[in-house]
Structure 1
Amino acid sequence: MADDLFLAIDVGTGSVRAALVDVKGKILSIAVREHEQIVPQFGWSEQRPADWWQGVAAAIREVLETAPDARSRISAVSACGQMHGTVLVDGNGVLTRETAPLWNDKRTVDYVTAFERAHAPAEYLAESANPPTPAWPGFKLQWLRDNDPSAYARTAAVLMPKDYINLKLTGEIAMDRTDGGASFLMNPQTGEWSDKMVGLLGLDKSKLAPLRDPVEILGHVTEAAALETGLRAGTPVLVGGADYPVALLGSGVCRPGIGSEVMGTSAIITAIAEKPLLDPSVSNVGTVEGNWGAFMLLESGGDAMRWARRAFHEKQLSYADIVAKAAEAPAGSDRLFFMPYLVGERLGDHRNARAQFFGIGAGHGLAHMHRAVLEGVAFAVKRHINILDGISGSRLERVIASGGGAKTKLWMTIKASVYNIPILVPQEAECGIVGCAAMAAAATGRFSRVEDAADAYVSFAEEIRPDPRWVDVYAKMQPFFEKLYAHSQALYNDLDGMAS
């Protein structure tokens, strides 16, 4: 019975979770502790790292009660966590600031705008692997330097959320390269902090935590942490990784040619590549196994269906009713197009983009409108896939889907047919927990590589294949969607001008 369990920890935006996972990758139990986002003013979003630790300690104690002698059976602790939450600690590991700005905190927008005005993409893309955006910790550190100089001055190390939990568990300070690569401060070729990026942002490199690989052993549970959590002192703790790349691993997305689509409020498409795909419209995150995940985000994924439910039905119909209505319309919605840019675009020159229906005729009805919304999101994601394929020079061969939208069979079949590649859905929805277990399995020598652990741990509930009849229809429509996208750009500034 000894050493036949892993403890996985996931520090999310809404809660922290602790899970016991057996060495075959099966989740045995999960304990959850919720925490709040603090919104001091519009556009800001913070949390207290102390709340994360309090929740983690309680969740660990609860989950240890679910299996006999669990404490002595855990061979390793492996954590992942929300990205970009910028935690400041002093030389003793004590917080210099009670709260940390989160990934969705927008207070840095003026710093991003100033950076974009001063620097062309050619100056920073190869050094940072990314375009500028308010999420990156590099810009959060600029804001903290200028607006909380006392805390910044006392800071000895900048950490991400899971790193703070690891510090509390082990007393060791480090950041892994998946979080580091999504900071706007790490050189993607060397895997070390970029002197150039640190200089461009006017930051202090000595405050950046040492960068390590996710599957390394960071340290061991201290006596103090053992008292708080119930864990066995001396239990190995991994460096761990950012939640998104760890979830990619835990869904089987860990090799070039395989993509991931997270179908939530937004739609995030990620293509695994050996190197970052450098383009002002593409973001890149390092992956656990050492590749890169190049990703593009469509702000309105599931949100487009939510909008349609409100706009057409004042929320009186269920989503299932709307999908059933959409199924009454033919593939292609009789040449009715929906541009799904309800809240603009995240990156690029067209953050002020708008949504529209195009091609409405007297024969179109509600069923066509609903199907066009589903198809429009698919065409928009396919546009992103085409961009990623074009930069990488190789095509995506299959997509692994997760999120709420992955449960809608009609939408999945539409997407598979628009992309003209199969879509697979993992059997286990807790991909982050599975990814943590795969890391622990590799770190403890049960597999020689994390990819092998993922192969063993991830299975798929279903495979949705393209409908050949729909593929032909959508293949003719995609170029028109792209043309409509390009032609519409010229109108957005004019539309904004009307408001003034």
Structure 2
Amino acid sequence: MKDLYLAIDVGTGSVRSALVDGEGTILAIASREHEQIVPQYGWSEQSPLEWWQGVTESITAVLARYPQARERIAAICACGQMHGTVLLEANGELASPTVMLWNDKRSAPLVEAFEQQYDAASYLSHSGNPATPAWPGFKLQWLRDNQPQALARTATVLMPKDYINFRLTGEIAQDRTEASCSFLMDPKSGEWSQHMLDCLGLNAAILPPILNAQEILGTLLPEVARDTGLQAGTPVLVGGGDYPMALLGSGVSRPGLVSDVTGTSCIITAIAPQPLLDAEISNVATCLGDWGAFVLLETGGDGMRWARRAFHDNALSYAEVSACAETAPAGSKGLFFLPYLAGERLGQYRNARAQYFGIAANHRLADLHRSVLEGVAFAAARHINIMEQASGQRLERVVASGGGAKSALWLKIKASIYGIPLVVPQEPECSVIGCAALAAAAVGHFSSPAAAASHFVRYSEEVQPDPAWQAIYQRMQPVFNRIYFNSQALYGELDRLAL
């Protein structure tokens, strides 16, 4: 009986493989870590061969725990870290032994040059996104200018999970979720944009076909079956990026729902039928055919990490820092924290700085800690308001995940600042559950991926806004916004100080 699904997640820190049953329960999961290669400041690379080794080892480890699963796996679905440009030769060999990752910043000068040449209004409708060094389009520009020999040997460019799919099946494709965040896909047609290729001076010949995430890409090769213990001929899906897969696996699958993923950063995503074309908003195609409009704060949980290090030299746990913050009143006695410790991802002020504003003699450490939690939520709420205005749709519920979802205080602060109830998925491995939901629908066990996700995803108790806190935060939000905008004139001055 084919009643299990194998999910593979190629993350930045590890590869994970998991067996999921028909109720969305993870029966077994195994991971294999890998390191980032940092040849110099701003660069970030990894080896695709290490990813593949992690895939085979983690699958083998999972099957060692459930050896009978080999015959029960109905389909395999992979997801992975997005934006990494794997250069593949026509013979299937790597044209470069390492890959520029999503957080590689070496293409920043190319982004700046692009923004000087093109106004956002002239390209947003062709790209679906504002410019950022994360996008593969700019990485390919850098490779063209700095590693032309490798690019000349390249027959096709794949994303990390696409390379794993190639090793699993021998088939080459890229899915719509990944292509939508390449800066090279036309959001209207869902095909590669000749307009953007011309703007960036790139050749369409190296781009693979774009397929939908839920399609069957191919079947497992016999040699891979021998190496892993899987069954040859097992269907393998096209799959998607880890981020849109996690949206599906957290139940964020229709307009009106918003995802708050707070780890080191904070990503706020609202589902919309069409991309929201705004210079402060990015857009990713979802696994279901609609769009996730998202904003990213570089500093989310990293704000609490900074406070723990700066004020306590890491001597306290995060739980102890949060307990300290809980003793402060809502609003932190009028103290504001602007959470731009690592600048901004998008827009004109990527050099934004963090700051406390409004410190008075009656403030104590607890107020400083609570204001960090509130500041991240104020910054996220500013972007939520932008998305609501762009879409014309009021958001109904936030699904919170990531490390930040472990703090009950932070959840209540966010619900009260957003003015929207929050829920937390009981299973934190949302990308794995998303892969399983996609696989279950692909083999006909559910009518759609959304139906599978609805069956698989269960939530904790809903966190409602606190009316008293909400009244305080509604008065503070406009002040936070003005502090942020008024500070922008000083960021260049701080850069020039270079102290």
TM-score in terms of structure 2 length: 0.98
How far the C-alpha of 1:497 sits from its partner, in A, is 3.4
* CA deviations over 1:29-87 (Å, ceiling 9, x no partner): 01111112111222111111111111111111121122242111111010001101111
In structure 2, the gaps of 5 or more residues are none
Q: Which amino acid aligns with 1:251?
A: S
> What does residue 196 of structure 2 align with?
197
How far is 1:221 from its partner?
Answer: 0.7
- Which residue does the alignment assign to 1:362? 361
Q: 1:254-293 to 2 correspondence within 5 Å?
A: 254-293=253-292
Aligned to 1:23: 22
Shift of 1:243: 0.4
> Is the partner of 1:464 in helix, strand or coil?
coil
Q: Is the 8 A contact 1:339 1:485 kept in 2?
A: yes
1:170 aligns with 2:169: yes
C-alpha separation in 2, matches of 1:163 and 1:43: 25
Show the counterpart of 2:212: 213
Structure 1 gap ranges (5+): none
Aligned with 2:18: secondary structure? strand
Per-residue deviation, residues 147-203 of structure 1 (Å, max 9, x unmatched): 222221121111001111111111100000000001000001111100111111111
The residue that corresponds to 1:309 in the other structure is 308
- CA distance in 2: counterparts of 1:249 and 1:272, whole angstroms: 11
Match of 1:161 in 2: 160
8 Å Cα contact 1:96/1:155 also seen in 2? yes
Residue matched to 1:152: 151
| Alignment length (residue pairs) | 499
2:449 is aligned with what amino acid?
Answer: V
Shift of 1:361: 2.1
Amino acid aligned to 1:408: S
Q: What residue number does 2:6 align with?
A: 7
Aligned partner of 1:479: which letter?
P
SS at match of 1:462: coil
Matches within 5 A, 1:220-231: 220-231=219-230
1:426, 1:462 within 8 Å by CA — same for their partners in 2?
no
Residue in 1 aligned with 2:181? 182
In the alignment, residue 281 of structure 2 is paired with which amino acid? V
Identity %: 64
**Partner AA of 2:128 in structure 1:** A
Tell me which residue corresponds to 1:60.
59
SS of aligned partner of 1:75: strand
State the shift of 1:315 in Å.
Answer: 2.1
Structure 1 residues 192 and 419: alpha-carbon distance in aligned structure 2, compared to 1, 3 A threshold:
same
- Tell me the SS of whatever aligns to 1:460: coil
Q: CA 1:233–1:499 in 2, change beyond 3 Å: closer, same or farther?
A: closer
CA distance in 1, matches of 2:29, 2:487: 48
Q: TM-score, normalised by structure 1?
A: 0.98
Matching residue's letter, 2:17: A
Deviations 1:410-443 (A, max 9, x none): 1110110011111110000000100000000110
Identify the residue that residue 487 of structure 1 maps to in structure 2. Answer: 486
Aligned AA (1:86): T
Tell me, in whole angstroms, the C-alpha distance in 2 between the residues paired with 1:315 and 1:33.
28
**C-alpha RMSD of the superposition:** 1.2
Q: Secondary structure at the match of 1:124?
A: helix
Amino acid at match of 1:203: L
State the alpha-carbon separation in 2 of the partners of residues 128 and 275 from structure 1. 13
The range that moved more, 8-17 or 318-327, is 318-327
CA distance in 2, matches of 1:95, 1:499: 41
What residue is the counterpart of 2:92 in the other structure? 93
Q: How does 1:332-371 map to 2 (within 5 A)?
A: 332-371=331-370
Tell me the CA shift for residue 499 of structure 1: 3.7
Deviates more, 1:266-275 or 1:89-98: 89-98
The structural deviation recorded for 1:142 is 1.1
